[in-house]
Amino acid sequence: MKKLLFCDQAHSRWLVLLIDLFIITWAFSISFLIAHKFQYQEIFQSDFTIFLATYSAVTMLIFVVMRIHTGIIRYSNTEDIFRIFKAVMLSSISFFMISKLLIIPYLNYHLKWLNIISILNFFIAASLLIVLRIMVKSLFAYLKDLESENIENVIIYGSDKKAILIKQAFEFSQEKQYKIIGFVDDYPDRINKNIEQIKVYPSSAIEFLRHKYAVEKMVIMDDHLNEDGKKNAVEKCINLGIKVISVPPSTQWINGRLSLNQMRDLKIEDLLQRDPIILQKDNIFRELSGKRVLITGAAGSIGSEIVRQLLRYNPELVILCDQAETPLHELQLEIEDYFSKAPTKIFMANIQNAKRLKTLFSTYKPQVVFHAAAFKHVPMMENNPAEAILTNVLGTKNLADISLEHKVEKFIMISTDKAVNPTNIMGASKRLAEMYIQSLNFHQARELPLDEIYQISGSKNGHTKFITTRFGNVLGSNGSVVPRFKEQIEKGGPITITHPQITRFFMTIPESVQLVLEASAMGNGGEIFIFDMGKPIKIFDMAVNMIRLAGLTPDKDIKIIYTGLRPGEKLYEELLNKEESVIPTYHSKIKISKVINCHFYYVKKVIDELIELNELDDNIEMVRKMKEIVPEFKSNNSIYNKLDKMVMN
């Protein structure tokens, strides 16, 4: 019987209507008896049946029109109760009017009890219908708890309407069993009050809830995570081993309802959310709207995000250049799904191949170039310096030279903090690329006649503007520590860290690209823009937080082991050389590095010599030459350490 009445399948709406009809009939009868002081003979001596039939017919018609019977009773909420209240009120008013205008004059009655019955019946019928739904909902919840073996106790951060909708999404879940222990909020006027029979606790009570109710999860809205109250609550949960689940903003809910499928575990990137970056979008729009824009390394982490954000600024054409076939194909499919009308072209090329690049420029004539193509993995480049030079140095040189030749207005190179006082091949190769495009920028101003500059570049300001943006690690990029740690956690550990004191600057991919676009708009050529990366973060702390975010305990569930610094790796990254200083810009998160510029002919000469050495395939000589060109390049934990003393001597 229990399975028949309380099965997961919803019963027929007509059965619900029949039950409502029985309650309405019974409520009217009780009201009639109360009005007649329980004199049962009045039912048989008066025209009770006529009024009962009229009221039942009117009420059923209104219930059907308002679709009261179509709701699933076990999922009733406050809105359903309010609709029942309105339907009963409308039924009572309609019955009273019909009785007064039609039935009483026709039957020639003078009924004194009609007013009393109408009022009594309204309250009794509404109360019984509402109580029925509350009882059925409570009974279903009780039976669900009894049958559930693995109930997860959950708290919800917030106590507003969105938090209530999140609660209802958990209660309606059929896949898994959840019990909402309470809401957590920091508004004093809501604390210790109840919302839908669930108590609101202060965030200071999270530890109490953890110990008393074995709370396993806290659910938060993933917008504005940098708010103090929410941030503190998340940190408490992480330290207590409570898993934090985030839900998307209400604007992304499906048909205004939250689905549990939209929920996800809080990521380490979410914890690093800073104040929203305010962009001068008019400046960016002015620089990019209606332009033909080339993005090299378009299939990479930074390049693909540049594509996504760039498409919002109405470019005439976006050319996606990369040599990685599969990632480029996946990006193309994404654009077709989400930006179906976007004016894009795919062009596969290796930037080492100057001839192929010339074909690209001759075909599409880009006006703005975002150069994100590069080899970036430190240990890999330490073992393959020839490839670092060919891509990061020669590839950049090819692209810059051809950009100048084809009258490009702006050339924006994506550099790295590893180019500052480099301790590895990758960082030194990126520093060489910085030196070349900077020297090329100022060479135009110093050496070429103004009319020739304008003729070459077509720029109103006289020359192609070569701009460098320099920032640290981006969270979630290909090969970064975050995916690596996540994979190790999923396997049950251990997490491997090179050194307990190693620290890095981190920024999310969207943040970094927003600042790249802003810097590209403000740049006048020759600048190295440095982004505010916030405070450096210890990799150990990041690993601990990721383990706790997974609901696990460091060194108990997941071990952390140290493997030693890799070739070329250093403990601390820097954004500025010792000899560099910064100039502020109108954007608080962007500054300009005052770097000592090298003469173009010198830089071109030494880079040409380096590329010639590359053809000899002699790693030692290549690295020795790099150290001569970049004196601050001191190898760390590398086979090339011995060259530092030789270069100094």
pLDDT at 510 over 60: yes
The per-residue pLDDT for range 173-206, each reduced to its tens digit, is 655 677 888 888 888 878 888 877 788 888 888 8
Which of 238, 266, 294 corresponds to the end of one domain? 266
In a shared domain, residues 170 and 61:
no
- Both structure tokens of 243: 């898993």
Which of 233, 266, 299 corresponds to the end of one domain? 266
Displacement of CA 468 from its chain's centroid (Å): 27
Instruction: Report, as an integer, the average pLDDT of 50-71.
Output: 73
Band the pLDDT of 331: cuts 50, 70, 90. very high
331 touches 320 (CB < 8 A): yes
In this prediction, residue 9 carries a pLDDT of 47
Pairing verdict, β 368-371 and 537-538: unpaired
E-only strand ranges, 216-306: 217-221, 243-247, 264-265, 292-296
Question: Domain for residue 327, yes or no?
Answer: yes
Displacement of CA 474 from its chain's centroid (Å): 14
- Cα distance between residue 312 and residue 384, in whole Å: 38
Crossing angle (nearest 10°) for helices 325-338 and 301-310: 20
- Cα distance between residue 475 and residue 431, in whole Å: 22
Question: Domain for residue 640, yes or no?
Answer: no
In a shared domain, residues 523 and 392:
yes
- Cα distance between residue 358 and residue 419, in whole Å: 28
Q: What is the dihedral of CA 545, 550, 554, 558, to 10 degrees?
A: -130
In a shared domain, residues 528 and 572:
yes
Question: Domain for residue 187, yes or no?
Answer: yes
Crossing angle (nearest 10°) for helices 619-629 and 600-615: 170
In this prediction, residue 452 carries a pLDDT of 47
Amino acid at 310: L
pLDDT at 329 over 50: yes
- Cα distance between residue 218 and residue 236, in whole Å: 11
- Both structure tokens of 132: 């029925």
Is omega for the bond preceding 483 within 30 degrees of 0, making it cis? no
CATH number at residue 158: 3.40.50.720
Which of 145, 163, 196 corresponds to the end of one domain? 145
In a shared domain, residues 299 and 256:
no
- Cα distance between residue 564 and residue 569, in whole Å: 10
- Cα distance between residue 92 and residue 111, in whole Å: 16
In a shared domain, residues 212 and 258:
yes
540 touches 384 (CB < 8 A): no
Question: Domain for residue 43, yes or no?
Answer: yes
Q: Rounded to 5 degrees, what are φ and ψ at 633?
A: -75, 105
pLDDT at 385 over 50: yes
CB atoms within 10 A of CB 266: 22
Is residue 418 part of the annotated active site? The answer reads yes
Three-state SS annotation for 477-530: CCCCHHHHHHHHHHCCCCEEECCCCCEECEEEHHHHHHHHHHHHHHCCCCCEEE
In a shared domain, residues 245 and 321:
no
Pairing verdict, β 495-497 and 560-562: parallel
The per-residue pLDDT for range 532-555, each reduced to its tens digit, is 777 778 888 888 888 888 778 888
Question: Domain for residue 437, yes or no?
Answer: yes
Question: Domain for residue 649, yes or no?
Answer: no
Question: Domain for residue 273, yes or no?
Answer: no
How many domains is the chain partitioned into structurally?
3
Distances (CA, A) of 400 to 257, 304, 392, 520: 51, 21, 12, 16
Using DSSP, state whether 580 is helix, strand or coil.
Answer: coil
- Cα distance between residue 410 and residue 646, in whole Å: 40
pLDDT at 392 over 90: yes
Pairing verdict, β 217-221 and 152-157: parallel
In a shared domain, residues 437 and 375:
yes
Q: Which of 418, 430, 486, 591 is catalytic?
A: 418
Q: Which of 307, 287, 205, 341 is nearest to 523 (CA)?
A: 287
55 touches 141 (CB < 8 A): no
The per-residue pLDDT for range 109-164, each reduced to its tens digit, is 556 667 777 788 778 777 777 777 777 766 766 665 555 556 778 888 887 777 87
The per-residue pLDDT for range 335-368, each reduced to its tens digit, is 988 888 889 999 999 999 999 999 999 999 999 9
Distances (CA, A) of 251 to 46, 247, 248, 256: 58, 11, 8, 8
Using DSSP, state whether 96 is helix, strand or coil.
Answer: helix
Band the pLDDT of 307: cuts 50, 70, 90. very high
E-only strand ranges, 394-505: 410-416, 465-471, 473-475, 495-497, 503-504
- Cα distance between residue 474 and residue 477, in whole Å: 6
In a shared domain, residues 509 and 608:
yes
Token pair 């290796």 in the structure block, residue = 350
The per-residue pLDDT for range 248-270, each reduced to its tens digit, is 766 666 555 666 666 777 777 66
In a shared domain, residues 323 and 379:
yes
- Cα distance between residue 432 and residue 448, in whole Å: 23
Question: Domain for residue 635, yes or no?
Answer: no
pLDDT at 10 over 50: no
DSSP-assigned beta bridge partners for residue 468 = 413, 528
Q: Rounded to 5 degrees, what are φ and ψ at 456?
A: -75, -45
DSSP-assigned beta bridge partners for residue 560 = 495
In a shared domain, residues 155 and 139:
no
In a shared domain, residues 133 and 209:
no
In a shared domain, residues 167 and 289:
no
- Cα distance between residue 266 and residue 247, in whole Å: 9
Q: Which domain holds residue 611?
A: 281-629
pTM comes to 0.69
* Length in residues, the chain: 649
- Both structure tokens of 506: 């981190």
Q: Which of 12, 139, 25, 135 is nearest to 71 (CA)?
A: 12
CB atoms within 10 A of CB 382: 25
